[in-house]
Amino acid sequence: MITYITEIIQLTEIEFIYCSFVVFLAGIVRGFSGFALSAIVIASMAGTLPTVQLIPMVLFLEAAAGIVMLRGGIRDANMPIVWILSIGSILGVPIGLLATVILPVETSRIIALILILSLASLQLFKLTPGTLGSKTALYTTGIVAGIASGIAAVGGMVIALYVLASEENPRSMRGAIVMFLFIGLFTSMIWYIIYGIMDIRAAIRGVVFTPILLVGIFIGFKLFSPILQNFYKQFCLILLVFISVIGLVRVLI
């Protein structure tokens, strides 16, 4: 059975087991925090598969996660805010893509990751300015997230920073992040099709790893208990710092 699966997804048995573990772990984190699936999978599997093959596969996994978490996201999220952020992001993506023409991709990614690392660290130590969670920031955060997505594919992390700076309860925070990522799937799919990144191999890999992902998400759901919700914001900020550091290490080494 495993041999047949590894043949159709073009991975060795060891690679398949390793990737399955990564997807399972990413599912737990996604189920609890509402984000970080793409970052964990890409950072952990980059040595196994080329990034250009990982990105479309991850889109299928994000779609599965988004569908499973959609009901709770709609119930808990402040949708007017989510729509403004999403529209701003759509407008910002072309600007980010244009920036890649001016700046090298790696330089753009370093700038974005350093910015996220700095802001997450400030929030973690409660040194962030109050304007980060203000109404004024709402209208610019979406565009900035779109630009970040265009130049470094880290738009979701920018939105997570904004949401975590708000005074919303943990369920509302997670719901907002879930809904933003779900809406963004459609924009990403269009861009991937335009650039010819999406292919049948990515779809097959996505289908194979989806059941493993869903088991992880279910565990993440269970961990999102009233007791652990008290640590939600701190967990997400530490997660953002960790992902940013790993991303910087990968780029610089």
- How many Cβ atoms are within 10 Å of 113's Cβ, its own excluded? 24
- Record the pTM: 0.85
Contact 34, 174 (CB under 8 A): yes
pLDDT in the model for residue 30: 94
pLDDT in the model for residue 134: 63
> Domains of the chain: which residue ranges?
2-252
Give the contacts of 36 (CB within 8 A, at least 6 positions apart). 26, 29, 30, 239, 243
Distance of CA 145 to the CA centre of its chain: 12
Mean pLDDT in residue range 169-176: 91
pLDDT at 160 over 60: yes
Contact 109, 51 (CB under 8 A): no
Placement of tokens 């203000």 in the chain: 134
pLDDT at 215 over 90: yes
pLDDT at 216 over 90: yes
Q: Quick one: what percent of the chain has pLDDT higher than 70? A: 93
pLDDT in the model for residue 172: 93
pLDDT digit string, tens, across residues 9-63: 888 899 999 999 999 999 999 999 998 898 888 878 877 887 778 878 888 999 9
User: What is the C-alpha to C-alpha distance for residues 185 and 167, in angstroms, rounded to an integer?
Assistant: 26
DSSP3 helix / strand / coil % (the chain, rounded to 5): 85, 0, 15
Distance of CA 250 to the CA centre of its chain: 17
Placement of tokens 């973690």 in the chain: 124
Q: Which tokens belong to 35? A: 């984000």
Confidence of residue 105 (pLDDT cuts 50, 70, 90): low
User: What is the C-alpha to C-alpha distance for residues 235 and 71, in angstroms, rounded to an integer?
Assistant: 23
